Amino acid sequence: MAFEFNESWDEHWERGYTIFKGIVPGSLLTDLRIEADKARALAHEINGSQSHRIQPIDKYDQQINQKPFQDYCELPELHTAVDQLLGPDYTHGHRNIMGILVEPLDHTWNQGWHRDGMVEIPVAAQSDPEVIACQKERTQDRRGYNQINCAIYRDATLWVVPGSHSRMENLEGEIQTCYTDALPTIKDGQSDVEFERECLAHCQSFPGAQQIVLEPGDFMIYRSNAWHCAHIVKYQPRATIHDSCHYHGKTDWQYHWPDVKKRVKAEYK
């Protein structure tokens, strides 16, 4: 069945994400799986058995055939769908930053709950007036924080809180857990099954959390300033293209935010 776009911008903005179901054709998925399997092995070889990504993909052009990824970047149906949803000033395929998300080999891994942007700075700096002003501007600007996951194999690792992208305020119980003691870590003598259940409970207990299931060929655009986390088990093959949907016009916050981050990281270290 050919892909048909049937989402509206209003629906996308209300939820904070849209999934183009089955937009990548089976023939291209076959080619992508061959190279993604190489990328997975390379990620574990280079970055260790618990590695969960390899990035950027074009850095490994001697080991990985780039053509299937270039074909993915140039897929006409995908260009049309992105244009219809966001507009003509966005690109979705960038092999110079694109990564492949993979499963760990040793045990379950949980990223922890966070919002992109705020997670990039020390917790003590998150009440800084300039940080708040910058993040408010970025939250209201729909041109940023458009992240991409495209599943080459079935992927149910991402959890999100729909609608949280459009508000600055954190509701009761919404607390960043990555880089904190609240993040589950495997204990001596704990089995992977026990740790997996602990990580799953960590995802499920977050207010408003919903699990996202991407079938092979599904392409998801989501606002990464929403509350989200990843829960990855070792026994399910994972190879998900991870990228950003870039806006190519000028936005003031793109140039101001790096300076703010640099300042607060130095002041609140």
- Report yes or no on 22 lying in a domain: yes
Stretch 78-87: mean pLDDT: 92
Q: List, for residues 192-240, the tens digit of each pLDDT value.
A: 999 999 999 999 999 999 999 999 999 999 999 999 999 999 999 999 9
Q: What is the pLDDT of residue 253?
A: 59
What pLDDT was estimated at residue 252? 64
**Is residue 1 in a domain?**
no
Residue 199 contacts residue 110 (beta carbons within 8 Å): yes
Least confident of 2-6, 92-96, 232-236: 2-6
> 164: burial class by Cβ within 10 Å (0-12, 13-18, 19+)?
buried
- Does the pLDDT value for residue 2 go beyond 80? no
Question: Residue 99 pLDDT > 70, yes or no?
Answer: yes
Side-chain half-sphere exposure of 189, counting CA atoms within 13 A: 0
Report the C-alpha gap between 184 and 177 in whole angstroms. 9
Q: pLDDT per residue over 175-194, tens digit each?
A: 999 999 999 999 999 999 99
Q: Mean of the per-residue pLDDT values for the chain?
A: 93
Structure confidence at residue 212 (pLDDT): 98
DSSP class per residue in 11-34: HHHHHTEEEETT-S-HHHHHHHHH
- Structural domain boundaries enclosing 28: 9-267
Query: Is 4 within a domain?
Result: no
> Is 3 domain-assigned?
no
Distance CA 88, CA 154 (A): 29
- In total, how many domains does the chain have? 1
CA distances to 16, 81, 91, 189, 244 from 210, in Å:
12, 24, 27, 30, 21
Specify if 63 maps to a domain: yes
Query: Cβ(19)–Cβ(218) under 8 Å?
Result: yes
**DSSP H or E segment with residue 91:** strand 90-91
The H-or-E segment that residue 240 falls in is strand 239-244
Tens-place pLDDT, residues 111-131: 999 999 999 898 889 889 999
Distance of CA 81 to the CA centre of its chain: 19
Q: State the Cα–Cα distance between residues 11 and 15, nearest whole angstrom.
A: 6
Q: Does residue 2 lie in a domain region?
A: no
Long-range contacts of 121-125 (CB under 8 A, 24+ apart): 121/261, 121/264, 121/265, 121/268, 122/264, 122/265, 122/268, 122/269, 123/176, 123/180, 124/268, 125/264, 125/265, 125/267, 125/268
Its sign, for the CA torsion 174, 205, 111, 85, is: negative
Residue 161 in domain: yes
In degrees and rounded to multiples of 5, residue 109 shows phi and psi of: -135, 140
pLDDT of residue 251: 66
Does a structural domain hold residue 173?
Answer: yes
Residue 139: CATH number of its domain? 2.60.120.620
